[in-house]
Amino acid sequence: MKQFGVEIDPDYSPRYNISPSQQVRVLKLAEDFSAASSATVAMQMHIQRWGLVPHWAKDVKIGYKMINARSETILEKPSFRTAFKKRRCLIPADGFYEWKRDGNSKAKQPFHFGMKDDSLFAFAGIWEQWKSSDGEAAVMETCAILTTTPNELVADVHDRMPVILPTSQFGLWLTAEAERAAELQDLLLVPYPAEEMKRYPVSSAVNSPKNDVAACAAAG
């Protein structure tokens, strides 16, 4: 509430291990925001399903394959292109996980990545609305996280990392017109500075989506 200037829904509670297809809280441009009358971007919190489902999709299961969108090709992919131009959001977090293979074994060591000062940050996200063709289901909002090349902190663990937007770019990301899509894409190709981040190993508890407790994010 303090960092993003938004109201939090009554059901809000901490999450420590959010998996694809589960609900995430995202920040969208406030419906009554007017760039002409305000220099500060006003945002509202919404609940969406992680895994983007295009409006033309026949089955919501397509979202399992669309949790992330590559920044380099987002303007080429029909599944993501329109959302990128017209429906962008911020996805707040204080950390994310990646897994590194442990030598020649099949085991992978999970790592937690976040800011050095443990502060909140925001992923660049896009969102869509979907409704089943039978018309019976309510409209569902879904989202995907944009990815880019890794910085030095992430590179030896994974060949991609989520796009973390600097605070100074929040307004541009949420308000830019579709005609500025190429400019926005350039913004996404620069990984967040490694020197502002930290990582540490966590326990294998995070490997199961059934585990959503503080121990998942604890160093170990």
Domain covering 23-95+117-192 in this structure, CATH number: 3.90.1680.10
Tell me if 61 sits within 8 A of 24, measured CB to CB: no
Model pLDDT, residue 137: 65
Q: For every residue of 100-158, which 3-state class applies, written as one string? A: EECCCCCCEEEEEEEECCCCCEEEEEEEEEECCCCCCCCCEEEEEEEEECCCCCCCCCC
Task: Give the mean pLDDT per block of 10 residues along the chain (220 residues).
Answer: 88 93 94 66 93 91 94 95 96 97 83 97 97 75 98 97 96 93 94 98 95 95
How far is residue 108 from each of residues 17, 105, 139, 203, 209, measured CA to CA in Å? 17, 8, 38, 11, 16
Model pLDDT, residue 107: 86
